[in-house]
Amino acid sequence: MANESRPCPCDIGDRFDYGGRGQEVQVEHIKAYVCKPSASTDKAVIVIHDIFGWELPNTRYIADMLTTNGYIAICPDFFVGQGAWKPSNDWATFDEWAKTRNAGKIDKEVDVVLKYLRDQCGTKKIGVIGFCWGGAAVQHLMLKNPHLKAGVSLYGVIRRFDDKSNLLHPTLFIFGEKDDIIPLEQVTSLEQKLKQNCKVDYEVKIYPGQTHGFVHRKREDINPQDKPFIEEGRKDMINWLNKYL
């Protein structure tokens, strides 16, 4: 996401060579990646992609990880056909690009996805996770949408919603200590506001030495020193969903 003074150096990181175990479907006006567990379940998780879009293999890898933990996982194209950000794009154009992709204006698409999950998949308990741009979208939904049960915001850009902290549902916030895009003072400020205003369970967790995108954009085999934190972040995400769904 963009900073106030400069475009964000949002690095795509280690692009996973991963095909995915799910399938692509059309849900009304939205394309989506869906993966279902072998056993039937009434629990689902909406996975909200980062600026690199719904087709990024890394994000689908996390969706499939949710499925191995017993959830139906759906990763819709919340850019609705508008192109994802490409690493080759000029960062000077990022703010202009982001204007047409507002993480706080996805309610129509979320309603369509919720209807699909209830009507086509038989789900009753639905949570949401999101990365970067999607992490900001999770915070928006946790403030507004009554139909979701829990959320996990992974390095969601705080300043998009930093004046709002009265969450409706239990929310876990995951941040990296060395995130160039989200300064620690913003994280501290968020935590203070949550402490003052939030009536539901929440947790703000900072992972030592970690940079933006560490949970889904880093490969453990390439970054052995980060492996414990990558694994811990993923485990914390699953445990939060297990607790509240």
Flag whether pLDDT at 13 surpasses 70: no
Confidence at 7, pLDDT banded by 50, 70, 90: very low
Average pLDDT for 86-93: 89
| Residue 1 within a domain | no
Flag whether pLDDT at 59 surpasses 60: yes
Sign of CA dihedral 29, 32, 38, 43: negative
130-171 pLDDT, tens digit per residue, is 999 999 999 999 999 999 999 999 999 887 666 678 899 999
pLDDT for 222 equals: 77
Flag whether pLDDT at 8 surpasses 80: no
**Bridge-partner residues for 128, per DSSP?**
46, 151
| Residue 4 within a domain | no
Flag whether pLDDT at 126 surpasses 70: yes
Instruction: Give CA–CA dist 149/57, Å, rounded.
Output: 26
Instruction: Tell me how many domains the chain contains.
Output: 1
| Residue 2 within a domain | no
CATH number of the domain residue 213 falls in: 3.40.50.1820
The range of the structural domain enclosing residue 90 comes to 9-244
Rg (CA), the chain: 17
Average pLDDT for 92-114: 95
| Residue 167 within a domain | yes
Name the least confident of 12-26, 117-131, 141-155, 183-197.
12-26
Q: Which residues are catalytic?
A: 132, 179, 212
Instruction: Give CA–CA dist 35/23, Å, rounded.
Output: 6
130-141 as b/e: b if 16+ CB within 10 A:
bbbbbbbbbbbb
